[in-house]
């Protein structure tokens, strides 16, 4: 699978989460933004809601933990039903141990980098991860403008993944839309989170399909996309 589109429920109606999951049927994953009002200046949802949501939808949950002390909390999101759990490099005390624990519990392990965090110090950790998330906004809120200055980091990360011969996914999150998705795909991203660009439209499922088609047109010829 070369391209994946993960709608973010941060832009959905939190009182109707099961319906909002249904509204993006056909999406690869549902992106669930967990914010604790400490790591980021916003508060969203936690383990009990992830547990309910995982029972309410067949779409697998991609939990993005914008929280302090993920070493303590991330395993609980796997137990709650998340298929993929992303912790922040800036918050994890022992990222290798945490990634191994997430995998051992049966989920995909992923690590996120805020815009000011470089990929280079984490090069040797890449084999421990199933996905790397590059934030293309400062984490904390939906609906922010895409940061073009992150494109070189996406490119450098794709090169590192290729150089190490890894099959891991490269996710971008923040300001991804019809206007920006092609730039991300050209730089080497293959998993795209989109919140406002999906839930802000009349037909969110059709928007997911359109975004996927746009990204697929770009990645079709990319050497790194072969064999996905
Ligand atoms: O992690 C996030 C914010 O911290 C969200 O996933 C992201 O912002 C999605 O919203 P949008 O597509 O509207 O930017
Ligand atoms: Fe997110």
Question: What is the complex's ipTM, to 2 decimals?
Answer: 0.98
Asked if residue 202 belongs to a domain, the reply is yes
pTM over 0.90: yes
The response to whether residue 106 sits with its C-beta less than 6 Å from ligand 1 reads: no
Question: Ligand 1 within 6 A of 62 CB?
Answer: no
Per the domain annotation, does 136 fall within a domain? yes
What is the CA(66)–ligand 2 centre distance, in A?
A: 8
Distance, first Cα to last Cα, the chain: 5
- Domain carrying residue 121: 4-222
Give the HSE-up count for residue 195: Cα atoms under 13 Å, Cβ half-sphere: 24
Q: Which one is catalytic: 36, 62, 130, 173?
A: 173
Rounded-to-integer distance, Cα 126 and Cα 115, Å: 18
Tokens of 15: 């009182």
| 3-state secondary structure (DSSP) of residue 113 | strand
Does residue 228 lie in a domain region?
Answer: no
Residues 29 and 6 sit within 8 Å (Cβ to Cβ): yes
The set of residues, in sequence order, having a beta carbon less than 8 Å from that of 46 and lying 6+ positions away, is: 34
- DSSP 8-state symbol, 36: B
Q: What is the per-residue pLDDT for 172?
A: 98
Distance between Cα 39 and ligand 2 center (Å): 13
8 is in an annotated binding site: yes
Residue in 193, 201, 204 to alter for ligand 1 test, most ligand atoms within 8 A of Cβ: 193
User: Would you say 174 is a known binding-site residue?
Assistant: yes
Q: Give the Å distance between the CA of 32 and the centre of ligand 2.
A: 7
Q: In the block, which residue shows the tokens 């019809």?
A: 178
Q: How far is the CA of 217 from the centre of ligand 1 (A)?
A: 24
Q: Is 143 known to sit in a ligand binding site?
A: yes
13: annotated active-site residue: no
Q: Does the CB atom of residue 194 touch ligand 1 within 6 A?
A: yes
Phi, psi for residue 226 in degrees, rounded to 5:
-70, 140
Q: What is the pLDDT along the chain (228 residues), one digit of tens a residue?
A: 489 999 999 999 999 999 999 999 999 999 999 999 999 999 999 999 999 999 999 999 999 999 999 999 999 999 999 999 999 999 999 999 999 999 999 999 999 999 999 999 999 999 999 999 999 999 999 999 999 999 999 999 999 999 999 999 999 999 999 999 999 999 999 999 999 999 999 999 999 999 999 999 999 878 777 545
Q: What is the CATH number of the domain that holds 174?
A: 3.20.20.70
28 assigned to some structural domain? yes
Q: Is residue 53 part of a domain?
A: yes
Q: How many domains does the chain have?
A: 1
Ligand 1 atom closest to Cα of residue 194 = 12
Round to whole Å and give the CA distance between 9 and 18: 10
The question of whether 173 is a catalytic residue gets the answer yes
Q: Is residue 227 part of a domain?
A: no
Cβ of 66: how many Cβ atoms within 10 Å?
25
């Amino acid at each position: 699978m070369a391209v994946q589109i993960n709608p973010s429920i941060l832009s959905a109606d939190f009182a109707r989460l099961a319906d909002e999951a249904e509204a993006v049927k056909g999406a690869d994953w549902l992106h669930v933004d967990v914010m604790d009002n400490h790591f980021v200046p916003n508060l969203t949802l936690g383990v009990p809601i992830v547990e309910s949501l995982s029972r309410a939808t067949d779409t697998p949950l991609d939990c993005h933990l914008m929280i302090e002390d993920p070493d303590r909390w991330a395993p609980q999101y796997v137990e709650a039903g998340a298929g993929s759990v992303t912790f922040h490099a800036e918050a994890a005390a022992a990222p290798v141990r945490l990634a191994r624990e997430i995998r051992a519990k049966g989920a995909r392990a992923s690590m996120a980098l805020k815009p000011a965090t470089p990929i280079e110090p984490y090069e040797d950790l890449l084999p421990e991860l199933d996905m790397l998330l590059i934030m293309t906004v400062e984490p904390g809120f939906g609906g922010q403008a895409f940061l073009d200055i992150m494109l070189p980091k996406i490119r450098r990360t794709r090169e590192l993944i290729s150089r190490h011969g890894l099959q891991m996914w490269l996710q971008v999150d923040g300001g991804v839309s019809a206007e920006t998705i092609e730039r991300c795909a050209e730089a080497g991203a293959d998993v795209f989170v989109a919140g406002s660009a999906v839930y802000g439209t009349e037909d969110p499922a059709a928007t997911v399909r359109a975004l996927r088609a746009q990204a697929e047109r770009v990645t079709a010829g990319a050497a790194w996309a072969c064999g996905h």
